[in-house]
């Protein structure tokens, strides 16, 4: 995730000399330096000494330990903290960092890897307007950014876009499999499904029509699409989606409770 942000920032003409990357693995740091000419430092405390923005991009399970290491330094310099760790609430990060920090918590998704991500962002009450702008600039290097007003909404963002790429992959797998059963070779079925997803997503994003209208426009009465849509509806497609996204939202809440309890 961090590499995607770095790559996006550099591609957007951000100065490499303003970015310092840390990681326990010197080889990874050397690779990132070679690729993007960013500064690197294996020592977290050294790396953040003069930072006005710190992006926390470690696994959620070790975030507390990382925060506790940085706490004293951060309490003195008060940088903007951006966390992309899934499921860790800003109140927990703030507590681990000694309280009263400006924190922007983000929920990106994997298409960030190709700068086609969608990220939900939430700023705590200590984050200033210009710090929110900075966070937006950093995350928009990975794709679309959308702000939410309260932190619980990030659990819904997790359910829609955070976990969302996997839903579409599942849909594509099923379309490819059925395309093959219906007589296409696997590669052709897969490519047709993927290109159709891309075309439909682009139409949905670029058209003035909402998705229900777009769907109606390609669904002639008595036609092939109408037969497929009727089959989806008879199998309660909307309920299936509703249950799946609600399960993802509920799991996000459970994980935040578990990870933030210490």
| Residue burial 234-244, b: 16+ Cβ < 10 Å; e: rest | eeeeeeeeeee
Q: Does 115 bind ligand NAP (CB under 6 A)?
A: no
- Between residues 117 and 179, which has the closer beta carbon with respect to ligand NAP? 117
Nearer to ligand NAP, 21 or 193 (CB): 21
Q: Does 222 bind ligand NAP (CB under 6 A)?
A: no
Which residues does residue 20 pair with via DSSP β-bridges, in sequence order?
39
Residues 146-185, mask of contacts with ligand NAP (x by CB under 6 A) = ----------------x-----------------------
Residue 83 or 131 having the CB closest to ligand NAP: 83
For residue 51, count other CB atoms closer than 10 A to its CB.
17
Q: Tokens 């003409």 correspond to what residue?
A: 13
Beta strands in the chain (DSSP E): 20-21, 39-40, 53-56, 80-83, 103-107, 117-123, 143-147
Number of residues that bind ligand NAP (CB under 6 A): 22
Q: Which two tokens stand for residue 226?
A: 């109408």
Q: Report, in Å, the least distance between residue 163 CB and ligand NAP.
A: 9
Closer residue to ligand NAP, CB minimum distance, 162 or 190? 162
Of the residues 62, 204, 218, 247, which one makes contact with ligand NAP according to CB under 6 A: 62
- Contact region for ligand NAP (CB under 6 A) — 9-17, 56-64, 90-98, 249-257? 56-64
Residue partners of 86: CB distance under 8 A and separation at least 6: 60, 107, 158, 162, 252, 255
43 binds ligand NAP (CB under 6 A): no
Among 7, 8, 9, 22, binds ligand NAP (CB under 6 A): 22
In 3-state terms, what secondary structure has residue 190? helix
The answer to whether 247 contacts ligand NAP (rule: CB under 6 A) is no
- Cβ partners under 8 Å of residue 207, min gap 6: 214
Q: Which residue has the tokens 């990132």?
A: 32
Closest contact distance (angstroms) between CB of 211 and ligand NAP is 24
The token pair at 64 is 């507390």
In the complex, least distance from residue 262 CB atom to ligand NAP, rounded to whole angstroms: 17
Residue 107: closest CA among 62, 60, 49, 68: 60
Residues between 84 and 103 with contacts to ligand NAP, criterion CB under 6 A = 84-86
Q: Select 2 or 175, whichever has its Cβ closest to ligand NAP.
A: 2
| Distances, alpha carbon 31 to alpha carbons 21, 36, 47, 160, 223, in Å | 11, 9, 17, 33, 54
Residue 21's beta-bridge partner residues?
Answer: 40
Q: Which of 29, 53, 54, 58 binds ligand NAP (CB under 6 A)?
A: 58
The reply to whether 121 sits near ligand NAP by the rule CB under 6 A is: no
Residue numbers at the binding site for ligand NAP (CB under 6 A): 1-2, 22-25, 28, 44, 57-60, 62, 66, 84-86, 107-110, 162
């Amino acid at each position: 995730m961090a590499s995607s942000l770095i790559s996006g920032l550099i591609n957007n003409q951000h100065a490499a000399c303003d970015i310092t990357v840390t990681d326990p693995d010197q080889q990874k740091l050397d690779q990132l330096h070679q690729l993007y000419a960013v500064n690197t430092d294996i020592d977290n405390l050294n790396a953040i000494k003069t930072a006005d923005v710190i992006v926390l991009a470690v696994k959620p399970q070790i975030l507390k330990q990382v925060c506790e290491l940085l706490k004293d330094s951060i309490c003195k310099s008060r940088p903007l903290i951006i966390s992309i760790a899934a499921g860790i609430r800003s109140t927990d990060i703030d507590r681990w960092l000694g309280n009263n920090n400006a924190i922007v918590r983000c929920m990106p998704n994997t298409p960030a890897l190709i700068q086609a991500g969608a990220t939900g962002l939430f700023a705590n009450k200590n984050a200033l307007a210009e710090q929110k702008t900075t966070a937006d600039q950093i995350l928009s290097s990975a794709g679309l950014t959308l702000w939410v007003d309260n932190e619980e909404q990030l659990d819904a963002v997790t359910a829609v876009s955070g976990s969302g790429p996997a839903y579409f992959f599942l849909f594509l797998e099923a379309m490819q499999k059925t395309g093959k059963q219906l007589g296409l070779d696997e590669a052709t079925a897969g490519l047709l499904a993927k290109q159709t997803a891309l075309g439909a997503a682009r139409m949905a994003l670029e058209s003035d029509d909402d998705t229900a209208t777009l769907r109606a426009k390609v669904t002639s009465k008595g036609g092939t699409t109408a037969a497929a849509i009727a089959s989806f509806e008879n199998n309660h497609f909307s309920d299936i989606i509703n249950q799946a996204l609600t399960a993802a939202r509920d799991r996000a809440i459970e994980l935040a409770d578990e990870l933030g309890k210490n």
